[in-house]
């Protein structure tokens, strides 16, 4: 039992898990309690507080006191907030492992979102195709993921064909993709989708628990883990990122691997866009503005090495959770929002240092055991 | 020893949700969430100050402690705003005031808040399809029309005008831009609108955009700035005073120098301090007195600031935003 527990804390992401547990304990203890009002919906649809009598016999609203951080709704919210970045971070981790970078993910998100939003709007309650919401939903999903895949294919093809650093290529395509998104929408946000989309993605499980985006993030992480750790195709990504020349001489078709990771990264961005469309009920060209840096930060916090050859899907997802826990913690602890960027930046560096320290300790332990 | 310590910590964490017990309390304090568009925009810092002053004034009036919980994204981010509204509800806010970066994106979060018994008011930029009970701000279409009306008069009814807009997704800015175009078409046949130029809502980006547009289109003789972002920088307007006419929205301290030196002919001051003050007043009235305004739209009139009225306006500004 002890050895199992020990082995559990010796795997690559254990440092991050300890950081998450530590942050959780701090927020649970110092976050304090919060009153939750008890409300009821009247037959006419109005919402009013449930009243009760206090010690003086006066009618007062009923409230429930609970821990600010450690309550189901807050934890579900944290998971949901992490999910959009988390889903994209899994794809980004693959690109980074292969030795590349994809700065266009936020803009792929925006372009996929607005094009899918237009399709969904057409089949929505106010659109010309309102008679076929099911068909609209299928076309909307296909558009979102298809457009994203196409963007990824363009990124990958340009990186492979032009042999220019992916930083430059994706820096260029990010502007193009967001520009197209703006031209398509004219700056207007697009809404009124078939209700089925929101019913599924914003499905309420229990009292105000919206778990679908978080579950999708877990599934994406699981698939990413299987791809990277269990499939030969995934191992080739590590080989290309670790030493491209050696990978080429050992018969790996490097171009195909690179193409694949950019497509996967973009499809992850498309999937995150789909979750956003369903959850927030609208798409606009300003969506996911600046997300690329959060996504890269999540992957790097998760252990992905910017020089390639190292990283994991689980780490990327945990990196997104750490980022969101920090930003949520600033709010829970009542710290002035003006300092949020400073704190998040400092915490990102601390998390990476702790992860490195853990890796170093593990390697030292292993080398001692070996020798 | 280590194992026992770990066990105690684990049990303490597990016990946290169990400590939730039903209880009643008379509200002696109120927490009101304030979600503006961007911390980096000075007008929202004025709104924050207005909200904080209103919290003190109304707290004294009703004998309750009112706390303003400022949850504004660093830069414009509608999704972040929606998440912040959800977090405010979870954190037990009694009411929320929002200036929407994208109305459609935050409507769901506003509706969820209201369904949870948290009243919501919008200011500056509305979410008309949401369940918010009131909105306080500038009548945007009329604001656009006023800008063009004043600019057209300054230009003598002829010339080429460029519109400077900020975030292309903000409905209030779209309404103002439409107001400018409609008024121009209606009243000034001799004036051509070149285009509407969007930019990231930071002073540096706005100033750079004006410079680029002027460089490429030297025929421009008038600027309709539906937000005054470039005027928060120094020497952003390169033309000689009077050669290009300019009417801009907002009149905060850094912008006034452009009026003084003649680069700008008229500033239309939004009462951004009052966005915060009035939003808090509306929320407290709703929560404490159960009162809602007779009409959902509560207009905030614009103040016309020229060289002649500048001294009076500065006195008002000293009250709103003491240096």
Q: Does A204 touch chain B (CB under 8 A)?
A: no
Supply the pTM of this predicted model.
Answer: 0.77
Q: How far is A314 from chain B (nearest CA, A)?
A: 24
Nearest CA to B39 out of A216, A116, A330, A71 is that of A330
Residue among B300, B303, B268, B301 at smallest CA distance from B282: B300
DSSP line for B115-136: HTT--EEEESS--TTS--SEEE
Spatial neighbors of B32 by CB under 8 A, at least 6 apart, are: B51, B55, B66, B67, B68, B69, B93, B94, B95, B96, B97, B280, B283, B284
Rg (CA), chain B: 23
Say whether residue A64 is in contact with chain B using an 8 A CB cutoff: yes
User: If you write DSSP's letter for every residue of A58-124 in order, what string do you get?
Assistant: -EEEEEEEEESSSSHHHHHHHHHHHHHHHHHHHHHHHHHHTT---TTHHHHHHHHHHHHHHHHHHTS
pLDDT tens-place string over residues B208-247: 889 888 888 889 999 999 988 888 877 778 888 889 999 9
Q: Which range (A42-51, A205-214, B72-81, B232-241) has the least confidence?
A: A42-51
**pLDDT at residue A22 tops 50:** yes
* Residue of A41, A77, A189 lying closest to B105 (CB–CB): A189
Contact across the interface for A63 and B72, Cβ inside 8 Å:
no
Residues A238 and A246: beta-carbon distance below 8 Å = no
pLDDT tens, position by position, B2-43: 455 555 555 555 445 444 444 444 457 899 999 999 887 778
ipTM, interface predicted TM-score of the complex:
0.71
Q: How wide is the angle at C-alpha B246 spanned by C-alphas B240 and B248, nearest 5°?
A: 135
pLDDT at residue A243, as a whole number: 92
Structure tokens at B153: 């008069």
Mean predicted lDDT score pLDDT of chain A: 88
Q: Smallest CA–CA separation between B149 and chain A, in Å? A: 25
Contact A61 B17 (CB under 8 A): no
* A252/A266 Cα distance (integer angstroms): 23
**Residue whose pair of structure tokens reads 């994706």 in the numeric block:** A170
- Alpha-carbon span B123 to B121, nearest angstrom: 7
Which of A280, A292, A342 to substitute to test the interface with B, most B CBs within 10 Å?
A: A280
pLDDT at A355: 66
CA neighbor of A114 nearest in space, from A186, A196, A200: A186
**What would the mean pLDDT of A270-291 be, rounded to a whole number?**
91
B144 CA: distance to closest CA in chain A (Å): 18
Mean pLDDT along residues B149-173: 89
A337/B39 Cβ within 8 A: yes
What sign for the dihedral angle of Cα A78, A174, A283, A341? Answer: positive
Residue-level pLDDT at B33? 96
Neighbours of A20 (CB within 10 A): 16
Q: What is the pLDDT of residue A11?
A: 66
3-state secondary structure of B222: strand
Which SS3 state, helix, strand or coil, does residue A207 take? coil
Q: Which two tokens stand for residue A198?
A: 């929101």
Provide the b/e sequence for B134-146 (b: ≥16 CB within 10 Å). Answer: bbbbbbbbbbbbb
Contact state of B26 with A73 under an 8 Å Cβ cutoff: no
Which tokens in the block code for residue B37? 């568009």
Share of chain A above pLDDT 90, in %: 53
Q: Do A281 and B104 touch (CB under 8 A)?
A: yes
Q: What is the pLDDT of residue A42?
A: 75
pLDDT tens-digit profile of B270-322?
A: 888 999 999 999 999 999 998 999 999 999 999 999 999 999 999 888 877 76
Test B117 with A340 for CB contact under 8 angstroms: no
């Amino acid at each position: 039992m002890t050895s199992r527990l020990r082995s559990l804390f010796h795997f690559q992401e254990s440092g991050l898990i300890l950081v998450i547990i530590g942050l959780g304990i701090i927020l649970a203890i110092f976050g304090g309690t919060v009153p939750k009002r008890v409300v009821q919906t009247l037959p006419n649809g109005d919402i009013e507080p449930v009243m009760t009598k206090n010690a003086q016999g006066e009618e007062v609203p009923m409230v429930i006191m609970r821990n600010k951080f450690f309550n189901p709704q807050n934890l579900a919210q944290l998971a949901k907030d992490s999910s959009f970045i988390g889903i994209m971070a899994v794809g980004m981790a693959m690109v980074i492992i292969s030795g590349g970078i994809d700065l266009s993910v936020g803009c792929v998100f925006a372009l996929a979102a607005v094009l899918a939003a237009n399709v969904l709007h057409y089949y929505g309650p106010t659109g010309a195709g309102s008679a076929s919401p099911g068909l609209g939903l299928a076309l909307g999903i296909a558009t979102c993921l298809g457009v994203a895949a196409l963007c990824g294919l363009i990124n990958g093809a340009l990186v492979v064909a032009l042999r220019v650093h992916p930083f430059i290529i994706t820096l260029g395509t990010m502007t193009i993709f967001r520009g197209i998104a703006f031209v398509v929408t004219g700056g207007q946000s697009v809404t009124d989708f078939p209700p089925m989309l929101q019913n599924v993605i914003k499905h309420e499980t229990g009292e105000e628990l919206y778990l679908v985006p978080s579950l999708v993030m877990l599934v994406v992480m699981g698939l990413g883990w299987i791809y990277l750790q269990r499939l030969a195709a995934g191992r080739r990504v590590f080989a290309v990122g670790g030493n491209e020349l050696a990978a080429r001489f050992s018969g790996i078709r490097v171009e195909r691997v690179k193409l694949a990771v950019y497509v996967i990264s973009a499809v992850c961005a498309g999937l995150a866009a789909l979750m956003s469309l369903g959850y927030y009920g609208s798409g606009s060209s300003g969506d996911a503005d600046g997300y690329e840096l959060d996504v890269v930060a999540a992957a790097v916090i998760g252990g992905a090495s910017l020089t390639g050859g190292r990283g994991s899907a689980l780490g990327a997802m945990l990196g997104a959770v750490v980022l969101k826990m920090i930003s949520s913690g600033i709010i829970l602890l009542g710290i002035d929002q003006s300092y949020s960027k400073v704190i998040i930046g400092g915490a990102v560096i601390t998390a990476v240092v702790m992860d490195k320290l853990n890796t170093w300790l593990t390697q030292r332990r292993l080398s001692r055991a070996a020798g | 020893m280590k194992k026992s310590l770990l066990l105690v910590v684990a049990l303490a964490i597990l016990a946290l949700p169990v400590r939730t017990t039903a209880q009643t309390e008379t509200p002696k304090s109120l927490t009101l969430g304030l979600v503006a568009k961007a911390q980096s925009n000075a007008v929202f810092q004025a709104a924050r100050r207005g909200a904080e002053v209103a919290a003190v004034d109304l707290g004294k009036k009703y004998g309750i402690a009112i706390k303003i919980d400022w949850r504004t994204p660093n830069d414009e981010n509608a999704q972040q705003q929606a998440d912040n509204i959800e977090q405010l509800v979870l954190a037990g806010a009694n009411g929320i005031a929002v200036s929407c970066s994208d109305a459609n994106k935050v409507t769901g979060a506003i509706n969820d808040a209201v369904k949870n018994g948290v009243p919501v008011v919008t200011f500056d930029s509305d979410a008309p399809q949401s369940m918010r009970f009131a909105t306080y701000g500038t009548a945007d279409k009329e604001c656009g029309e006023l800008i063009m009306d004043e600019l057209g008069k300054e230009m003598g009814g002829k010339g080429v005008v460029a519109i400077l807009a900020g975030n292309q997704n903000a409905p209030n800015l779209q309404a103002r831009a439409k107001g400018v175009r409609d008024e121009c078409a209606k009243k000034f046949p001799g004036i051509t609108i070149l285009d509407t130029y969007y930019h990231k809502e930071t002073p540096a980006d706005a100033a750079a955009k004006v410079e680029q547009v002027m460089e490429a289109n030297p025929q421009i003789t008038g600027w309709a700035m539906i937000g005054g972002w470039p005027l928060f920088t120094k020497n952003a307007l390169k033309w000689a005073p009077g050669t290009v006419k300019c009417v801009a929205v907002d009149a905060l301290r850094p912008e006034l120098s452009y009026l003084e030196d003649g680069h700008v002919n008229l500033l239309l001051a939004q009462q951004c301090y009052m966005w915060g003050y009035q939003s808090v007043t509306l929320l407290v009235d709703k929560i404490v007195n159960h009162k809602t305004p007779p009409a959902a739209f509560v207009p905030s009139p614009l103040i016309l600031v020229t060289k002649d009225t500048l001294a009076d306006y500065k006195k008002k500004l000293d009250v709103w935003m003491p240096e």
